[in-house]
Amino acid sequence: MTRYGLDVTIVHPPGFDIDPEVVGWCKKNAEESGGHLRISNDYSEALNGAHAVFPRSWVSQECVMRGLGDFGAESELAIHEKHKDWTLTQKQVDCMDKHAVIMHVMPVYRGMEAADEVIDGEHSAIIDQAENRLYAQMAVLTLTMSERP
């Protein structure tokens, strides 16, 4: 999105830093396009006035649900417990822009990435986004698998 002149904020818990090379590309894109890139560890502050939010989990759902996995010296389950306050709640959505949109590529892990009332709420485009992805995938399959004259 930094290529298109948008102001982008990436917010993540401490210790989940973005690859510096990728950050460099994004900063360069933002400079060239008139956009801005900001990286923060303050979830609530970053959501204040946001126009579009894409919540993500910091561990795999399978590992949390089954209590599996290892992430260095700290288990994924312990990481999930440590960062479970990073779940997008309705209270946080209420602090966003009044026309804000919540997006996700699916599957969205209810209660882990976003609360049910957020996923099913008026600001959510998650189901529409998933449906549009289906049509895009069908178009790609049609183009790649159809006989060409």
Rounded Cα distance, 21 and 27, in Å: 10
In the block, residue with structure tokens 């060239």:
32
Predicted confidence band of residue 98 (pLDDT cuts 50, 70, 90): very high
Copy the structure tokens of residue 21: 């090379």
60-89 pLDDT per residue, tens: 555 545 554 555 556 766 777 777 788 899
| Burial profile 70-88: b = 16 or more Cβ within 10 angstroms, e = fewer | ebeeebbbebbeebeebbb
Q: Residue 1: CB partners within 8 Å, gap ≥ 6?
A: 8, 35
Query: How do residues 15-32 score in pLDDT, each as one tens digit?
Result: 888 899 999 999 999 999
Q: Which residue has the higher pLDDT, 133 or 60?
A: 133
- Rounded CA Rg of the chain: 18
| Superfamily of segment(s) 42-56+88-145 | Aspartate/ornithine carbamoyltransferase (3.40.50.1370)
pTM score: 0.75
Interstrand relation of 52-53 and 101-102 (parallel, antiparallel or unpaired):
parallel
